[in-house]
A and B are shown apart, each in its own frame.
Chain A
Amino acid sequence: MLFAKAAPGENLIVRGARVLDPAGKVDGVLDVRVDGGTIAELGSRLDPNNHRVVEAEGLTLAPAFVDPHVHLRTPGREDEETIASGTQAAAAGGYCAILAMPNTDPVVDSAAVLGSLAETAEAEAEVPVGFLAAISKGLEGGELTEMAELADAGAAGFSDDGRPVATPGLMRRALQYGAVANRPLALHCEEPTLSRSGQMHEGAVSAELGFAGYPSVAESLMVERDLSLAAYEGRPVHLLHLSARESVEAVRTARAAGVQATAEVTPHHLCLTDEAVRTLDSNLKMNPPLRSVDDRGALVEGIRDGTIAAIATDHAPHARHEKDVPFEAAPFGVTGLETAFAALYTHLVEPGLVKLELLLERMSAGPAAIFGLPAPRIAVGEPANLVLLDTKGGWRVQEDGFRSRSSNSWLLGQRLTGKVRMTVAAGRTVFEA
């Protein structure tokens, strides 16, 4: 269930864009008319008829993006992000729906906390936002949350993100009992006794820099455990932010064997490797860490062949003073909502690693399907969830350019190609540049 400010749908014509909806097999220069927030007509030279007209020649109009993995830091760290600022950032990134993780303070582990978030979202969310609830009370890995009641209160799914469900026993119970709630279980796969105090990927770069290593097997071992349990229980699992080749291979094998497993990957894992950490920039510190060139290759291949159906930003805002410290002292996590498309266009589409159509699908219909959300479509009768993209537009990522309350981006100072020019979410223009 998604929550947002109630607002009337708009009347709008987007004129002359390349309309590209890969899932709906639409690709052509067309005008799109939106009546009261619903797509009413696709055609050429549509009559303005008192609609606001957006001239979009040379631009690309696509189904807006869906981000299944965002940290809104609310409640508890509203200095880092609020529902208002986080959804404004999402709007600027081309998103029409985002899902927020429950590792807040307090944790979203009761219907009361969830209810108050839903209420806030209905007052201030620019784009529809869903909330995942915790799998275990307090994310402590001890007792299950009241999953059925949380589902009734609107939980979009369940996750202990930030931590693994450390014991296989509790993980199994979550899979079994989760059938009652019937919402996706989104799993952070990390074997803590292997990751320990690891600061970055274990390999040649960590050996040279001296950082405690966080080996890829710390992830893939937990991926394999969770896939085994999912197979045994015959229940679906969604695996968060994959980073390692072995994890991708395990998911591919499990899916081929009929396990209902889905997976996501972040823009930074698709674009960077552990070599980047040589800069010692604390904005390159995240969990899971940036891995080797082979791991990056496997993640890109996973996106291409569908093993990984979703790109998720894992947008993790942090206060400036908390990141403005030596790498080892910095918290894990980077922002991503406002840069995801441009980063991926620049680092995957332009060099020819991934086609634009595929990128659009993995940022929109792919993640929507995993969480049972309606896929954004450009078709008559569908709600208008649109993103207008300038694939030639270059820009520089700057600290003062973010709508997010935090600016801990791994892209600060970089020049990117690909700009979001307009976002329409649930029938309403939520961003225009």
Chain B
Amino acid sequence: MGDIRVMRDDLKPPPPTERRHLLSVADLSRDDIERLLATARNFSRTLEREMKKLPTLRGRLVVNVFFESSTRTSSSFELAAKRLSADTMSIKSSGSAVDKGESLKDTALTLGAYDPDVIVMRHPQIGASHFVAKVTAAHVVNAGDGKHQHPTQALLDLYTLHEEFGRIEGLHVAIVGDVLHSRVARSLIQALDLVGARTTLVGPPTLLPRGVEAMGCETSTDIASIGAADVVYVLRMQRERMLEGANYVPSLREYTERWGVTPERLRAGQKVMHPGPMNRGVEIDPRVADAADALIETQVRAGLVTRMAVLYDLLTSGPVGVKAAQLTEVA
């Protein structure tokens, strides 16, 4: 009898999507990540000038479609597109045809009819941007799909780490909190694994997904295990995702008591990151959030240049790092 573990080729998952889209960190190679970060660093130099706008994407159309609320992601994508001279259009679910029950497919086809170059999409359902990528001709950037992926957040986090430490390989990052409901954590775990950093997930057992270690990380339920990390990455306690009666934690009070990131639980000089928006006093002590070792504002600034790099990378081809450097000279 044959081996049950052999799956026939046609039933295996398809190879990663071609680099027309940015849907998941799982689609990226280490080279892709390094190229994107190098491009972002080039853009950050242009932003130090008086004239911050580059002509690079003049005449291109970037459509931002946000089916979930967002401040920093939607604003930084919009600004990134504008800094590169692209035309932008923003659509939110409330007040759009989605309110009238339009399907995602029809929304995507409608937007596709304007021939956008890029559709940036956030949606509460896993795989929504993959779905839109299948039905439109535009490049699609996943700005968050349910609990699945938020690849530009992971890229900006890597950018931030590189700015702070001058390297990412070999760093030890402790991700603390509600991993189960976090697309930020999923993208970041994959990205850190890809560039050779070490990741430890720390949180209540109910919020650490079963089987998550296969993604290339360790897990711990003891907050003391953040002590060994170079960086403590605090996740938002996603109260809006907690189903009634799900009992992931008995109370927020007990969560904060056990897993809240406080000055007492940090080593001197230990860096702290948070994807925002923060619940001060829940997952993060306000003193930690406001301390000099917090890299939270750096993350927000990194968001802009990283998203510029992503838009640029999708809409141009060739050795992007080099070309971006040249462009910054002429701009």
State yes or no: do A and B come from one complex: yes
Show the binding face of A for B, using Cβ within 8 Å. Answer: 196-197, 199, 202-211, 213, 215, 271-273, 275-276, 278-280, 293, 296-297, 300, 304, 321, 324-329, 346-347, 351-353, 414-415
Complex interface: chain A residues within 8 A of B8 (CB): 346-347, 351
Of B2, B7, B123, B127, the contact of A280 (CB 8 Å cutoff): B127
- Tell me the bound Cα distance from A211 to B148 in angstroms: 7
Complex interface: chain B residues within 8 A of A414 (CB): 10-11
What size tier do the contact residues of chain B reach?
35 or more
Interface string of B108-127 (1 = CB under 8 A from A): 00000000000000010111
Of A208, A300, A326, the contact of B186 (CB 8 Å cutoff): A208
**What are 29 A-B contacts defined by CB distance under 8 Å?**
A204-B215, A205-B211, A207-B210, A207-B215, A208-B186, A209-B126, A210-B146, A213-B209, A213-B210, A215-B210, A271-B11, A275-B12, A279-B13, A280-B130, A293-B4, A293-B7, A296-B4, A297-B4, A297-B5, A304-B1, A321-B103, A325-B105, A326-B123, A326-B126, A326-B128, A326-B131, A327-B126, A328-B126, A329-B104
Is B103 touching A211 in the complex (CB atoms < 8 A)? no
Complex interface: chain B residues within 8 A of A271 (CB): 11
Is A206 touching B148 in the complex (CB atoms < 8 A)? no
B59 within 8 A of A: no
B14 within 8 A of A: yes
Complex interface: chain A residues within 8 A of B11 (CB): 271-272, 276, 347, 414
State how many angstroms separate the Cβ of B126 from the closest Cβ of chain A.
5
Is A353 touching B209 in the complex (CB atoms < 8 A)? no
Complex interface: chain A residues within 8 A of B186 (CB): 208, 210
Nearest 7 CB-CB pairs, A to B?
Answer: A210-B147, A204-B211, A280-B127, A207-B209, A352-B2, A204-B214, A278-B13
B183 within 8 A of A: yes
Residue of A nearest to B212 (CB): A207
Is A280 touching B6 in the complex (CB atoms < 8 A)? no
Known A202-B210, A211-B148, A415-B10; 11 more pairs at CB < 8 Å: A196-B243, A207-B211, A210-B186, A211-B126, A276-B12, A280-B126, A296-B4, A300-B4, A326-B127, A328-B127, A351-B8
Complex interface: chain B residues within 8 A of A209 (CB): 126, 148
State how many angstroms separate the Cβ of B329 from the closest Cβ of chain A.
41
Q: In chain B, residues 6-24, which have Cβ atoms closer than 8 Å to a Cβ of chain A?
A: 6-8, 10-14
Is A208 touching B147 in the complex (CB atoms < 8 A)? no
State how many angstroms separate the Cβ of A357 from the closest Cβ of chain B.
14
Q: In chain B, residues 77-108, which have Cβ atoms closer than 8 Å to a Cβ of chain A?
A: 103-105
Is A351 touching B214 in the complex (CB atoms < 8 A)? no
Is A326 touching B211 in the complex (CB atoms < 8 A)? no
Is B104 touching A206 in the complex (CB atoms < 8 A)? no
Is A203 touching B126 in the complex (CB atoms < 8 A)? no
State how many angstroms separate the Cβ of B305 from the closest Cβ of chain A.
27
Interface string of B296-309 (1 = CB under 8 A from A): 00000000000000
Complex interface: chain A residues within 8 A of B190 (CB): 208
Complex interface: chain B residues within 8 A of A324 (CB): 103, 105
Complex interface: chain B residues within 8 A of A325 (CB): 103-105, 131
Is B131 touching A352 in the complex (CB atoms < 8 A)? no
Of B14, B149, B215, the contact of A279 (CB 8 Å cutoff): B14
